[in-house]
Chains A and B, each alone.
Chain A
C-alpha cells in the first residue's frame, strides 16, 4: 500500500520511517503565486501612493493582474490538501496559534482592498458603459447581460462629476497605501509559515518572511513586465494590421515608444528589489555557515553538494546574476527584457523550490537525505495534482482569468478615469 509522498520520495542513508517529502510541488507553487499577487500589487501602488508617474500605464495593468492572480493563490494549497473539501474548516474553526489559520483573514482583507481599489479606479468606466445601455431601446441578449453586469458593478452610484472623481482618487491612494503593508503581510506570512517551523533547520530563520517579501516583489514586477510586453506586442501586431477599430488612433510606433519607456522605468524598480532580495538570501547563507550550529553539517552537504546545481547554477547564476547583468547593461531593449524577466521568474521559482524541496532534502536525523522526483506523467489524481501538470495548470490559470477579468476592467483602451 502506497503512503502519501512515497511515490516521489527516495530515501538515502538514515531517515526516520515516517519521513517523506510531504510538501511537494504545490507548496512550491503556493508562495510563488502569492508572491506574484503581492508583487503585482506593490508595483501598482508605486504609482498610486508614491505618485511615480512613469509607472502610470503599468499601475492599472498590475492591479488588474494582481486581482486575477489573487483567485489562483489559494488553489495550490487546496490541491495539496489530503481533504480538499475540508479546506473550509480553516475559516470555520481557525486555530490562531497556527500561521495557516490567519490565511482566511489576510486573504479576504487583501481581496477586499484590491476589489475596492479596482472599483474606485473603474467606477467611471462602469457608469459610462451602463448609462448608454440603460437608455438604449430593444437591447440584444448580449447587451442585456452587459448592462446587467455593469449596472451591478456601479453599485447604484452614477455620480461621475469632477468632484466625486477627485474623491475617488483620494480613496484609491488611501487603499493602495493600506494595501502595501497588507500585501507584504500576505506574503510575509507565507514566509512565516516556513520560517517558524523549528523542526526544519533550513527553514527556521526570522529572515524568511523578509526574504519572501523581497523576492515576491521581484517576481511580481517581472511577471507584470512580461505580461505587459506580451499584450503590447499583440496590440502592436493588431495595430499594424489595423484590425481594431477602437485603437485606430494609435499607430504601431506610438505603442512601441510607450512600451519601451514603461519597461525601462519598471526595470529600474525590478533591479532595486532584486538587489535587496539577493543580499538577504546571501546574508542568510553566510550567517548559517558562520554560526555553524548542529545542523550545519547536513545543511552544507545539501547546499554545496546535493542541491548545488539547483541553488548556485539555476537560482543564483541563471535566475539572478544573468538577469542582473542583462538589466544593468545600457540601452535596454524589449527583447533583452523578455529574456531577463523570464530568467528572473525562473530564479524566484527556483528559490521557492530550494526552500520547500531543499528544506526536505535532508532528514530530521541529520544523517540521511531525501530526493524528490516530481511526477511528470500522471497516472492517478494524486500524481496529477501534485505533479508537473498540476503545477502548470496553476501557473496558466491566472492568465486565463486575467483575459476574462480584463473584459470588465479594460487595462488599456480606457480614457482617463481619474
Chain B
C-alpha cells in the first residue's frame, strides 16, 4: 500500500465511522422526548407556610404510612423541627422522632444529654419548620451516586432505584439537608419523593393532604396559574442552605435566620 492509498483509505474509514455517529446525535432520545413529550411542562415545587404549622406531626405519620417507612424506625422522609429562641439569644431546636407524635412536651430534646426545660417567660419566639427533600435543581446526591441508581426525572423530582442502589451511602453524605437515609427493610438509599406515585396521578402528596392547617402545598412552578406558583412569585419567600448551590425547590414562607 502506498501513501496515497493509505490516506484515501483512512479518510474513508473516518468518514464511515463519523456518519453513523452523527446519525446517533440526530436521534438523541432525550432531545426527542423533549421535543415531543409534555413532561417538561411540569416542575414540581413545594411550599411550606411555617406560620401555619403547629407541629402536630400528622404529616410525618401520614408519610410513614403512605410510603412504607417502618413506623418505629428512627428515620423519616419528612419531619418537623421546633425552634425556641430565648431572651439570652440562644436557639434551642429539636425534632424528637422527627415529630412523628408531635411535640408532647415543652422540654427540648437534647439527645444523650436528656431534656432541657425552658421557662415560658424566657422565650422570645418559637415556631415549627417542616422539612422534606428539596428536590434540588442541582442535586448533589445524584451527582455522587456511583451507579446512577438515583436520578432526577424531567419534572424535577429525585428518585432512587431500589433494585440498583448498592448502599454505599455517598448520597447520604452528599445531601446538605440530611433528608436521605438507609431504608431499614430494603437497605437502600431512601428519600422523600414528593409522593411521586400520587402526584403523577393528579393527587396531592400524603403530607399535603393530611395537613389540617394547610401549611404544606405542592404545585407546578411552570404553570403560572398554579396557586403555589402565584405565592412564590408574589410573596417574600426563603429557601434552605442557599450557599451550597443546590438550588432547592422547597420554598418557605416565614423562614427565620435561626433555621438550620
Binding site for B on A (CB under 8 A): 1-6, 10-20, 22-23, 77, 80-83, 86-87, 89-90, 92-95, 97-101, 103, 193, 196-200, 294, 363-368, 371
Contacts and interface: CB of A to CB of B under 8 A. Distances in A.
B87 interface: no
B79 A22 contact: no
Interface stretch (B32-40, B108-116, B202-210, B211-219): B108-116
Contacts of B166: 81-83, 86-87, 89-90
Contact of B260 (A22, A99, A365): A365
A93 B147 contact: yes
Contact of A93 (B70, B144, B164, B188): B164
Nearest to A371: B112
Interface in B123-143: 131, 140, 142-143
A367 B165 contact: no
Contacts of B76: 17-18
B188 A3 contact: no
Given A196-B144, A197-B144, 7 more contacts: A5-B182, A17-B75, A22-B173, A82-B182, A92-B147, A94-B146, A364-B260
A6 B74 contact: yes
Nearest to A87: B166
B178 to A, nearest CB: 4
Given A10-B111, A95-B145, A364 B178 contact: yes
A245 B170 CA distance: 54
9 contacts: A4-B181, A12-B110, A12-B112, A18-B75, A20-B181, A80-B169, A98-B170, A365-B93, A368-B111
B184 A13 contact: no
Q: Which of the four size classes fits the interface of chain B? A: 35 or more
A83 B91 contact: no
B112 to A, nearest CB: 5
A97 B142 CA distance: 9
Nearest to B162: A83
Contacts of A198: 140, 174, 176, 244-245
A362 to B, nearest CB: 12
B184 A19 contact: no
Interface of chain A, main secondary structure: loop
B148 interface: yes
Given A14-B260, A197-B174, A366-B260, A101 B169 contact: no
A100 to B, nearest CB: 4
Contact of A83 (B74, B110, B142, B165): B165
B164 A364 contact: no
A97 B172 CA distance: 16
By secondary structure, the B interface counts as loop
B167 A81 contact: yes
Interface of B: 70, 72-76, 79, 91-95, 97-98, 110-113, 131, 140, 142-149, 164-170, 172-182, 184, 187-188, 243-245, 260
Contacts of B164: 86, 89, 93
A80 B173 CA distance: 14
Given A18-B76, A82-B187, A100-B146, A199 B174 contact: yes
A4 B244 contact: no
| Among B140, B142, B175, B260: residue with most chain A CB under 10 A | B260
B172 A95 contact: no
A4 B187 contact: yes
Nearest to A22: B169
Contact of B79 (A17, A90, A197): A17
Nearest to B179: A18
B129 to A, nearest CB: 12
Contacts of A6: 74
Contacts of A371: 112
B173 to A, nearest CB: 6
A3 B169 CA distance: 13
Contacts of A14: 92-95, 260
Contact of B95 (A4, A16, A294): A16
Contact of A12 (B98, B111, B178): B111
B169 A23 contact: yes
Q: Among the interface residues A80, A82, A367, which one has the most CB atoms of the partner chain B within 10 A?
A: A82
Contact of B75 (A3, A12, A83, A90): A3
Given A17-B95, A77-B168, A98-B145, A199 B244 contact: yes
Given A90-B146, A365-B93, A16 B184 contact: no
